[in-house]
Amino acid sequence: MTIYFYSARQTPYGCFSNFSKHGVEIDGVYYKTSEHYFQAMKFEGLPQDMEDVRRASTPKLAASVGRDRNRPLRSDWEEVKDDVMRKAVLRKFETHADIRAILLSTGDEEIVENAPGDRYWGQGQTVPARTCLGKS
């Protein structure tokens, strides 16, 4: 059975979202969520931009700051973003035993972010079965 998650408010798998309220300390710096860390790393070497993301009051705001293309994105972002995400998620589950137990309880099941607008990190838009069959 595939396990789908999206909103951080979903029980029990919302904790898999990068927006879940599970802070992480990475390289001696505390981030309110794994999303805060991920977005801040887009500006590595640019302390003010990193700090603006880190201090964002919500993960949604951190994502908005991180996606602001008026801020200079680090030149190697496309090459490092998967490793940055791995580091963030690993640290999150290393830090919080309660959500680590939820993750481990999934066994070998496939876990999919049910993000309709994101085909890179999530499953993207799905087509209803009736549309696939040529019915409307």
Tell me: the pLDDT tens digits for 6-35? Answer: 999 999 999 999 999 999 999 999 999 999
Range of the domain at 113: 3-132
> What is the secondary structure of the chain as a DSSP string?
--EEE--TTSTTGGGGSTTSS--EEETTEEESSHHHHHHHGGGTT-HHHHHHHHT-SSHHHHHHHHT-TTSPPPTTHHHHHHHHHHHHHHHHHHH-HHHHHHHHHTTT--EEE--TT-SSSS--PPPPHHHHTT--
pLDDT at 130 over 50: no
Q: What is the mean pLDDT of the chain?
A: 91
CATH of the domain at 86: 1.10.357.40
Counting the structural domains of the chain, the total is 1
Q: Rounded to an integer, what distance in angstroms lies between the CA atom of residue 37 and that of residue 42?
A: 9
Digit-coded pLDDT (tens) for 75-89: 999 999 999 999 999
> If 0-12 CB within 10 Å is exposed, 13-18 middle and 19+ buried, where does residue 15 land?
buried
Joined together, the tokens standing for residue 17 give 């979202």
Torsional class of 124: left (φ above 0), alpha (ψ -120 to 50), beta (otherwise): left
Q: What is the mean pLDDT of residues 92-112?
A: 97
Q: What is the mean pLDDT of residues 42-63?
A: 97
